[in-house]
Structure 1
């Protein structure tokens, strides 16, 4: 009986406070930052025990190794949640009442808050260690992503387009794995080759084809988008375009790198 009573109180705490509209944003942002800290430390702990190569890395390489472990955890989380909310939850379905540009839920706000926490943490690390963890393109990408995600969370506007953009994080695990394989001295392995092929496919689907579908959705609901606040309207109009241009540039580099790898194999 006592166990059931504690369980009931815990459920009430989550429902009435952590997932309440007035608290969900702040709790989720803090949760996202905490998730980053735990993922960073867990990556360092696991790597020191199970990867012999880790001990011989330089201090900066170890920081980047742990940082990439952290970004992989976020990527898996946000890809799963974004895909669910966009394609399976029914939240943004045309069959629902109301304008699609103003739809949100406690779950969608909570998920965006976790992502805000991640982008704050990762951007802080990039700026603090600049340019070791990434150049100006990473800074621009993270600032634009942070502003877009934070606005969608606070205003509850345009969340459909924000989540469609966040599905592009599906490419992050492959990118991180490629760096891990390179640092581990496995650049000539079959795993490295197949990783390059997988990166090409996932990038094509998540950052090129899906963004094309995103632009189609913007065109389809443009009358609704014009009813958003001016800043939100500009974000929906500008942010996906800038990110798409960056995606195309990176996609060209991935394609060129894959061609070089295949040429060396032959």
Structure 2
């Protein structure tokens, strides 16, 4: 009996130590995300002053948004690359030899990237609130709030990370959104680069934010027996957050399609 009690205490101690290590990782990765955003903001400002003559002529608010979109682009590149690696290259979610269901799998890298992403959303939300509504209105607050909630729940529970990375992969469209804004502000709205970027944004959004979300819901349906194994908070996030983001994505896609149609019509008239 004493041996059983000793073993139980030993297991509880190891579990507690592991939990503390995970919490330190979450905190450290979130700090990394915050610092990354601050560094990217500064680098964007410095390089823009050195290499873009028009930057100094922008208003203070335009310069702030210019720099803000700089760290937004870097975050999008980082999480998109991580999502592609974890979903398609790593065996984390595709190694069938593992006994653990894919919805319950996580790794040091997957947890770290999610923490970095939380740091980004915190940084961007802070700037949006501070400069409200110049950097974005209620739709941006809702988008960031939903995204951060889903990521935070998945990070805390180490559940459903395969689905979180499916959603994060949609960030691959962000560099095109930012490039469109940069080109417009630079007075290049009628340039060939603006047209090519607009077409890339249209098809990128169609694939990453419409078709991918359809695949997401189909995958959840096919693996519903595994989905029921997660904690209640994770379960509800799997359905509510992607559903709300889908409505927003469809609305923005309609606006993108309308913008592309107008741009192409004007070019045909010319």
Same fold flag (TM > 0.5): yes
Separation in 2, partners of 1:93, 1:239: 24
For 1:59, the equivalent position in structure 2 comes to 60
For 1:12, the equivalent position in structure 2 comes to none
**Runs of 5+ consecutive residues of structure 2 not aligned to the other structure:** 1-20
Separation in 2, partners of 1:90, 1:36: 30
Separation in 1, partners of 2:60, 2:258: 31
Separation in 2, partners of 1:143, 1:199: 24
Deviates more, 1:112-121 or 1:214-223: 214-223
What SS does structure 2 have at the residue aligned with 1:148? helix
For 1:31, the equivalent position in structure 2 comes to 32
For 1:175, the equivalent position in structure 2 comes to 177
Separation in 1, partners of 2:204, 2:106: 28
Query: 1:97: Cα distance to partner?
Result: 2.2
2:91 is the alignment partner of 1:90: yes
For 1:253, the equivalent position in structure 2 comes to 255
The Cα offsets for residues 56-101 of structure 1, whole Å up to 9 and x where unpaired, read as: 0000000000000010000000000011111111111161321111
Separation in 2, partners of 1:42, 1:97: 45
The Cα offsets for residues 129-169 of structure 1, whole Å up to 9 and x where unpaired, read as: 11100111100000000111111111101111100000000
Deviates more, 1:127-136 or 1:221-230: 221-230
Separation in 1, partners of 2:128, 2:235: 29
Moved over 6 A (4+): none
* Aligned partner of 1:235 among 202, 224, 237: 237
For the pair shown, the structure with the greater C-alpha radius of gyration is: 2
What SS does structure 1 have at the residue aligned with 2:175? helix
For 1:131, the equivalent position in structure 2 comes to 133
For 2:75, the equivalent position in structure 1 comes to 74
For 1:196, the equivalent position in structure 2 comes to 198
2:159 is the alignment partner of 1:157: yes
The Cα offsets for residues 159-189 of structure 1, whole Å up to 9 and x where unpaired, read as: 1110000000000000000000010010111
What SS does structure 2 have at the residue aligned with 1:98? coil
**Runs of 5+ consecutive residues of structure 1 not aligned to the other structure:** 1-19
What SS does structure 1 have at the residue aligned with 2:188? coil
The Cα offsets for residues 219-257 of structure 1, whole Å up to 9 and x where unpaired, read as: 111111112111111000111111111111100100000
Separation in 1, partners of 2:218, 2:100: 20
Query: 1:103: Cα distance to partner?
Result: 0.6
Separation in 1, partners of 2:167, 2:230: 18
